[in-house]
A and B are shown apart, each in its own frame.
Chain A
Amino acid sequence: MVNTKISLCGIEIDNPVIPASGTFGFGYEFAELYDINCLGTFSFKGTTKDARFGNPTPRIAECSSGMLNAVGLQNPGVEKVISDELPKLAKVFNKKVMANVSGFAVEDYVYTCEKLDKEEQVGWLEVNISCPNVHGGGMSFGTSPESAYEVTKAVKAVTTKPVIIKLSPNVTDIASIAAACENAGADGISMINTLMGMRINLKTRKPIIANKTGGYSGPAILPVALRMVYQVYEAVKIPIVGMGGISTAEDVIEMMMAGATAVEVGAANLIEPYACKNIIDELPAVMERYGIKDLNEIIGGAH
């Protein structure tokens, strides 16, 4: 018997596998296919203060070993998430869920986090300061240590639950931004959000995505994510939730060796709806193959 349980910011979860925000909705679509209670937890669709339609379509483009998306934080707004989505989610998921929050001003993050912090089923707040697909907000908070510090500090002041700050890879020095979040009181870091990219339609000679740019995700970005998690592990003491291209149990182990305490699985859910279940099912056998008895023993093992 191997141990897949880990503790994420003081909350024990059965395994480190967490579907990433924006690839799992509020869980219902997947709950039609399998019992999603097998997951460690999941990060629900990015929620903002007000309802958002998001960007015009096309929002999606194919890439080598991955995809671009520019959904643009479509969501019904925090009030509707609390009144409509969370009660439905509770019917299919009985564990603590990770609430993913985004905003366009520090006050937006404060408003949304304060509301979601009061929800019993919310275990962690994942604060996205790294969305590449909205203008005048999102990523702009995650591109300097000062603004990352400011958002983290403000959210921590109004919340009681662990706050995990989700970072952008579209920066020159991610470790300094992670350190600023830790200094501001963050309980964890999740990384990486998507890499900004573009595809051009040769027939129309214009970008495929209506937003022009989109976030690149999928197996292609795994090496970038591993490198960045490795760097941030050396810069902070708080736990890291590693993500970027994870599609297999081997990828989970590799990401944990780089320094992640838990992992998020994103694009893989869209291509293979059973991806997270398959990873969880395969994890014990893959651990045994590499002589791992307890996942806790490999966190940061590559350092």
Chain B
Amino acid sequence: MKQTIFTIKHNVALTANVYEMALVGDTEGIASGQFVNIKIDGLYLRRPISVCDYSEDTLTLVYKVVGKGTEEMAKMVSGQKLDVLTGLGNGYDTAKSGSQPLLIGGGVGVPPMYALAKQLIEEGKKVNVILGFNSSDEIFYKNQFEALGAYVTVTTVDGSFGVKGFVTDALKNTGGYSYIYTCGPEVMLKAVYNAGETSGQYSFEERMGCGFGACMGCTCKTKYGNKRICKDGPVLEKEEIIW
């Protein structure tokens, strides 16, 4: 964990309620699948947001406005400074991916898949991605994933774009996979858990107090014992999950 003051480079809307915020500052120690915890003026608890992308000096977050914290974030402008705790959570382990990993992101679970896809492609793996949305106007980052060289399938619940249905309805379109990485709403994770034919890593979310393992505010039970989603997660192995 590290505390860093970042400067907002841009904060732009990607859809009606999903925003992309680029932050300039020290990104050392940040990994895919981790999250950062942001201090927001006027609110007491920091707000945990998953890492979408990072480079040597820029951290990119893609977040959906769902409550007070993200409402405040959406109003922020370039040049503003943010107090951020980085390097939080375990992140994804790419050593287990095999040669053809499948990445499944649902809605606001899409962003963490981006840095992971980038990393897996750099490691020479053939990456298939399924991005699930409710409808075509909610789609974001499809082009960004394609630009990385990933094979992208989009699903929409209303059928307005791509495969009609849920992410699990596109599993057969992927032409086989060696491992699954996924992030999204819990009902989606459970559907992937049941339909997925390989092992995998599942990223969970929970209301947090500190975000770095001190308060025990986000503990869940797993087959490997009690785990703090913030410190021992947010990524759990398929084999340890208890629904």
Question: Which A residues are within 8 Å of any B CB, using their own CB?
Answer: 22-25, 29-30, 32-33, 45, 53-54, 57-67, 69, 71, 74, 208, 218, 267, 269-274
Known contacts A273-B1, A273-B210, A274-B3; A54 and B216 CB within 8 A of each other: yes
A69:B217 contact, CB within 8 angstroms: yes
CA distance A219 to B226 in the complex (A): 31
Residues of A near B126 (CB, < 8 A) are none
B219 at interface, CB cutoff 8 A = yes
A29:B219 contact, CB within 8 angstroms: no
CA distance A25 to B39 in the complex (A): 21
Known contacts A59-B207, A271-B46; A71 and B217 CB within 8 A of each other: yes
Known contacts A57-B220, A62-B45; A270 and B215 CB within 8 A of each other: yes
B196 at interface, CB cutoff 8 A = no
Residues of B near A32 (CB, < 8 A) are 1
Which chain B residue lies CB-closest to A64?
B44
CA distance A67 to B85 in the complex (A): 19
Q: Which bucket holds chain B's interface residue count?
A: 20 to 34
Residues of B near A67 (CB, < 8 A) are 44-45, 209
Q: How many A-B residue pairs have CB under 8 A?
A: 90
B44:A24 contact, CB within 8 angstroms: no
Residues of A near B16 (CB, < 8 A) are none
B210-227 interface code vs A (CB 8 A; 1 in, 0 out): 101111111111000010
Main secondary structure of the interface of B (DSSP, over half): loop
A269:B220 contact, CB within 8 angstroms: no
A69:B219 contact, CB within 8 angstroms: no
What are 24 pairs between A and B in contact, CB < 8 Å?
A22-B215, A24-B214, A30-B214, A33-B1, A33-B3, A53-B221, A53-B226, A57-B207, A57-B218, A57-B219, A57-B220, A62-B45, A62-B68, A64-B44, A65-B44, A71-B216, A74-B219, A270-B210, A270-B214, A270-B215, A271-B46, A273-B1, A273-B85, A273-B212
B147-166 interface code vs A (CB 8 A; 1 in, 0 out): 00000000000000000000
| Residue in A24, A29, A54, A69 whose Cβ sees the most chain B Cβ within 10 Å | A29
Which chain A residue lies CB-closest to B210?
A270
B95 at interface, CB cutoff 8 A = no
